[in-house]
Structure 1
Amino acid sequence: MSLFWRIFALNAVVLGLATALLLWAPVTVSVPVLLTEAVILVAGLAVMLVANAALLRLGLAPLDRLTRLMTTVDLLRPGQRLPAAGGREVAELIRTFNAMLERLEQERATSSARALLAQEAERRRIAQELHDEVGQTMTAILLGLKRAADDAPEPLRKDLHEVQEITRESLDEVRRLVRRLRPGVLDDLGLISALTSLTEDFATHTGLRITRRFDTDLPALAPETELVLYRVAQESLTNAARHADAAHVTVALRHTDDSAELTVTDDGRGVEAAREGAGIRGMRERALLIGGGLEIAPAPGTGTRVQLTAPVSRKH
Structure 2
Amino acid sequence: DEIGQLSTAFNRMTSELDSAQRAMLRRHRELAALNAVANAVNAPAPLAETLERSLRALLDTLDLPAGWIFLLDGEQIQLTTWLGMPLEIGRREVATALHGCPCTIALTDKQSVVVVPLPERCPMREGKLNDAREIASHVTVPILARDHVLGVLGIASADTHTFSADEVNLLEAVGQQLGIAVENARLWDDLREKERVRGQLLEKVIVAQEEERKRIARELHDDTGQAITSLMVGLRAASDTSEPATRTRLDTLRDIAAQTLESVKHMARELRPALLDDLGLAAALERYVAGYRANFGLTVDLQMTGFHSNGRLSSEVELALYRIIQEALTNIAKHARAHNVSIVVERKACAVVGIVEDDGRGFDVRAILESAQDESKLGLHGMRERAELVGGRLQIESSPGAGSSVFVEIPI
TM-score above 0.5:
yes
Alignment of 1:187-198 (within 5 A): 187-198=277-288
Higher relative contact order (CA 8 A, sep 6+): 1
Contact 1:266 1:299 in 2 (8 A): no
Alignment of 1:52-201 (within 5 A): 87-201=177-291
* Alignment-derived partner of residue 278 in structure 1: 378
Larger Rg: 2
1:275 partner amino acid: I
Contact 2:362 2:400 in 1 (8 A): no
Contact 2:289 2:300 in 1 (8 A): yes
Instruction: Work out whether 1:293 is the aligned partner of 2:393.
Output: yes
* Alignment-derived partner of residue 311 in structure 1: 411
Give the secondary structure class of the aligned counterpart of 1:297: strand
2: distance between equivalents of 1:95 and 1:269? Answer: 44
The C-alpha deviation readout for 1:94-151, integer Å capped at 9, x for no partner, is 2122212221221111111100000001101111111122111111110011111111
1: distance between equivalents of 2:368 and 2:228? Answer: 39
The C-alpha deviation readout for 1:56-101, integer Å capped at 9, x for no partner, is xxx9xx9xxxxxxxxxxxxxxxxxxxxxxx9222222221222122
Instruction: Work out whether 1:235 is the aligned partner of 2:323.
Output: no
**318, 330, 353: which is aligned to 1:226?**
318
Contact 1:299 1:305 in 2 (8 A): no
Contact 1:251 1:263 in 2 (8 A): yes
2: distance between equivalents of 1:266 and 1:253? Answer: 15
2:392 partner amino acid: G
2: distance between equivalents of 1:211 and 1:148? Answer: 45
Unaligned runs of 5+ in 1: 1-58, 63-85
1:286 partner amino acid: R
2: distance between equivalents of 1:127 and 1:245? Answer: 30
Residue 255 (structure 1) shift:
2.2
**353, 357, 376: which is aligned to 1:261?**
353
Contact 2:362 2:401 in 1 (8 A): no
The structure with the largest helix share of the pair is: 1
**Which is further off, 210-219 or 288-297?**
210-219
Shift in alpha-carbon separation, 1:174–1:304, aligned structure 2, 3 A: same
2: distance between equivalents of 1:214 and 1:103? Answer: 38
2: distance between equivalents of 1:229 and 1:134? Answer: 29
Contact 1:265 1:299 in 2 (8 A): no
2:323 partner amino acid: R
Give the secondary structure class of the aligned counterpart of 1:87: helix
Calculate percent identity across the aligned residue pairs.
36
Number of aligned residue pairs: 230
1: distance between equivalents of 2:204 and 2:325? Answer: 21
Q: TM-score, normalised by structure 2?
A: 0.53
